[in-house]
Amino acid sequence: MLDQYNAFDYHGAINYSWEITMGKGFSLETYPWVYTSKYTENKEWKDEYTEKPHKSPEEEALMAEKELSELLQKRNSFPELPLVNYTTQYGMGCFEGMKAYPQKDGSLKIFRPDENASRMKRSMEGLMMPGFPEDKFLEASINIVRKNRDCGFFPKYDPAWEADNYVSGHSIYIRPFSYSEPAIGLSVSSSPWIVFIATPVGSYFDPGSSKAVVTEKFRATPGGTGWIKCDANYVVPILAKKEAALNGFMEAVFLDSVEQKYVEEGSSCNIFFKLKDGTLVTPSLGDTILPGINRKSVIELAKDISVTVEERKIEISEVMEKADECFVTGTAAGVSYIESLTYNGKTAVFNNGVQGELTAELQKMLKSIQYGAVEDTKGWMVAV
């Protein structure tokens, strides 16, 4: 399904074979520049940009594995942040994920960071901590990519990516996250840090099977934190996805926790179904479903090509009987098709197990905007 990668090509550098974990999506090959901001007693955010130890990309490509590993560990070290706190002890933290994409014209642009800024602020306030200002979030997002670009750490656009609708495209993953002050008791953070790091990123799902299974676990409950992109929400999905993988599935799909019959999400992504009548359906938002930014974007793109889109509750029985395409969306997943879904021992195969036309079209539309292959008429891409 998804391509593997051999090397990461930095702009201005000769192709070389620094073997990084691109095929696995996320990587701890963190870039040198990081951003931190601390909420002070004066109710202000104090910013700091730090340049972690590094050599040039070309020099790092030639380093021995042990030497490179030691360098990367130094880049991933934040001794100024306390080990024991509300975040590490109780999962009282939240984060965002977004990408900066190399453009055909050689520049870099970030996809809809204003949406991430808004969601991050809502998440923090939902956890009863001070919300990080949206204007500061946008400024930090741009600066962290720019500073790393200026010292050589960023991918160069490759026209070969166009052949598979940019599934094989490289990008920069930006991870902002909150981190609480020192603490051990049960409470909420009143003076947190915000940290921004950046890494190279490739495909989220492994190549091969894209089969999914309905898990018996529940991701969220009404009245809980399902709508917040918080740390603790990912424990159950990780367990469900690992359990699914042990049984030969790529993805786990959650049902609602009350009636146990309505589809809600994938393990870390929103989910869509194209029904046999041509309607595109995705579960409606509520306090148990994360409001995905790619989800929002795909809905708009589908409407642009006159697809009827419904945001509503959808029963698993309707999916099994009436869906002929299925895909998931997310910052990591992009638009990724699901070939089949297994529920209670029965399997529904979508579009004969291959990517459907609508899925492919939406994937191409979204990626083409992100990589600058078509004009961004929506104002989604923010220049670095």
pLDDT tens digits along 126-150:
999 999 999 999 999 999 999 999 9
Q: Classify residue 256 by its DSSP letter.
A: P
The 10 Å CB-count burial string (b at 16+, else e) for 226-259 is bbbbbbbbbebbeebbeebeeeebbbbbbbbbee
Q: What is the rounded distance in angstroms from the CA atom of residue 83 to the CA atom of residue 97?
A: 23
- Give the containing element (helix H, strand E) for 332: none
Q: What is the rounded distance in angstroms from the CA atom of residue 173 to the CA atom of residue 31?
A: 10
Token reading at 185: 């008791």
Mean pLDDT of all residues in 177-184? 97
List the one residue out of 317, 301, 321 whose CA is nearest residue 378. Answer: 301
Q: Can you give the pLDDT at residue 333?
A: 82
Mean pLDDT of all residues in 164-180? 94
* Single-letter amino acid code for the residue at 382: V
The phi-psi region of residue 351 (left if phi > 0; otherwise alpha if psi is between -120 and 50; otherwise beta) is left
Split at pLDDT 50, 70, 90, the class of 343 is very high
Alpha-carbon distances, residue 257 vs 3, 295, 374 (angstroms): 35, 22, 41
Reply yes or no on whether the pLDDT at 5 is more than 60: no
Mean pLDDT of all residues in 303-331? 97
For the chain, domains (ranges, CATH) are 22-201 (3.30.470.10), 211-369 (3.20.10.10)
Token reading at 209: 């099977």
Mean pLDDT of all residues in 304-330? 98
Reply yes or no on whether the pLDDT at 21 is more than 60: no
Q: What is the rounded distance in angstroms from the CA atom of residue 84 to the CA atom of residue 62?
A: 37
Q: Can you give the pLDDT at residue 207?
A: 61
Split at pLDDT 50, 70, 90, the class of 374 is very high
For the annotated catalytic residues, the residue numbers are 229
Q: What is the rounded distance in angstroms from the CA atom of residue 301 to the CA atom of residue 233?
A: 28
Over residues 22-58, the pLDDT tens digits come to: 334 566 799 999 999 999 999 999 999 999 999 999 9
Prediction pTM value:
0.91
Q: What is the rounded distance in angstroms from the CA atom of residue 2 to the CA atom of residue 169?
A: 11
CA 310 centroid distance within chain? 24
Over residues 66-117, the pLDDT tens digits come to: 999 999 999 999 999 999 999 999 999 999 999 999 998 999 999 999 999 9
Q: What is the rounded distance in angstroms from the CA atom of residue 341 to the CA atom of residue 251?
A: 9
